[in-house]
Amino acid sequence: MALCFWQLCDCPGNTSPCTQHGGHGCGLFSGNVVHKLEDVTDGETARLERALQTTISTRTKLEDFQKKAEDTKKSFEDLQQTLEQRFDKATTDAEKQKVNDDGRTQLGKVRRDVDEARLDFDAASLLFDVDVLAGVLGLLHRPFKDPTADCACAFEKLKRLAALDKQIATESTNLATAQNNLVWWGQKIAAAVALFVAAIALTVTWGIITWFKIAFLLKAANVLIIAAIVMAIAVLAIVIAIYVAWKKVLDLRKKLLELALQYYRLERISRCQ
C-alpha cells in the first residue's frame, strides 16, 4: 500500500476513496504525487532557492573581507608595538627623531590601508544591502487555516505548518534584534574614521614643531603617532565588528528563507478531499 506524503492514508494513485478517511487526492502537487518536499517546485520555489544561494555567496564574500580587515588590523598592532619599543630603546634625541620620522612615514601606509579597508567596506555594504527576504514572507498564509479539516492528514498538515509558523516568528524577532545591533555599530564607524583623520593631521603638524628636537616635544610626537595608529586599529575593529554583525543577519536571513521554503511547499501539498 502506497502511503500519502503525510504517511496517514493510501490516497496516492488510488482512484477509490482511501480506506482510512474515505478521501481522494491526498499528497499531491499540481496533480503529481509528492514523495518529498523537494518535489514541490514552481517559480516561487526557484526564486527562494536563488535567494538562498545569494545569501550563502554573500556570506562567503563577507568572510573574505573580514579576514583581510583582520590581517590589516594585526599589521597596525605590530607597527604600534615596534614603534613603542624602538622609541623606548632610543637613547639620543636624534635616535628618537628617527623613530618618529619612520613612524610618520608608516602612517602614510596606514592611511592608505584604512582607505582601502573603507572601500572594501563600501563594496561589502552593497552586497549586504540586497534584501533577499523582501516579499518572501508575504508568499505564505500565516497562520495557515483549514476550516474544513476533518481527517488525520489535514490535521497533520496544520500541525506541521503551525510549528513552522512559530519558528518563523521566533527567527523574525531574532533578525530584528540583529539588525538593531547592526545599526548601533554603523553609527560608530563615521566617528572613528573622523578621529583617525584628525589624528593624522595632528601628527603632521606636530612633525614640523619637532624639527627643534626638544626631548619633551619628541615624546609628545611619538605619543601622537601611536595615537593615530590606535585610532586606525579602532576603525578596523569597528569594521570587523560590523562584518560579524552582517554575518549574523545573513545567517538569520538564510534560516528564514529555509523555513519559508519549507512552509511554502507544505502549504501546497494536498490533503484528503
Q: pLDDT by residue (tens digit) across 211-233?
A: 445 566 788 888 888 888 888 88
Can you tell me the distance from the alpha carbon of 113 to that of 132, in angstroms, rounded to the nearest whole number?
32
Q: What is the distance between the alpha carbons of residues 247 and 239, in angstroms, rounded to a whole number?
A: 12
Is the backbone peptide bond immediately before 143 cis, with ω within 30 degrees of 0? yes
Question: Would you state the torsion angle of the CA atoms of residues 159, 161, 163, 164, taken in this order, to the nearest 10 degrees?
Answer: 170
pLDDT confidence tier of residue 44, bands split at 50, 70 and 90: very high
Question: Which DSSP category does 28 fall into?
Answer: E
Using alpha carbons, list the distances in angstroms from residue 182 to 19, 126, 187: 56, 15, 9
pLDDT above 70 (res 146): yes
Residue 210 banded pLDDT, cuts 50, 70, 90: very low
For residue 250, give the amino acid letter.
L
- Contact residues for 138 (Cβ-Cβ < 8 A; gap 6+): none
Q: Per DSSP, what are the bridge partners of residue 29?
A: 32
Query: Which residue in the block uniquely carries the three cell numbers 474544513?
Result: 148
> Model confidence over 162-201: pLDDT tens digits?
999 999 999 999 998 998 888 777 777 777 777 777 776 6
The helix/strand/coil state of 113 is helix
Residue 244's H or E segment, with its range, is helix 215-267
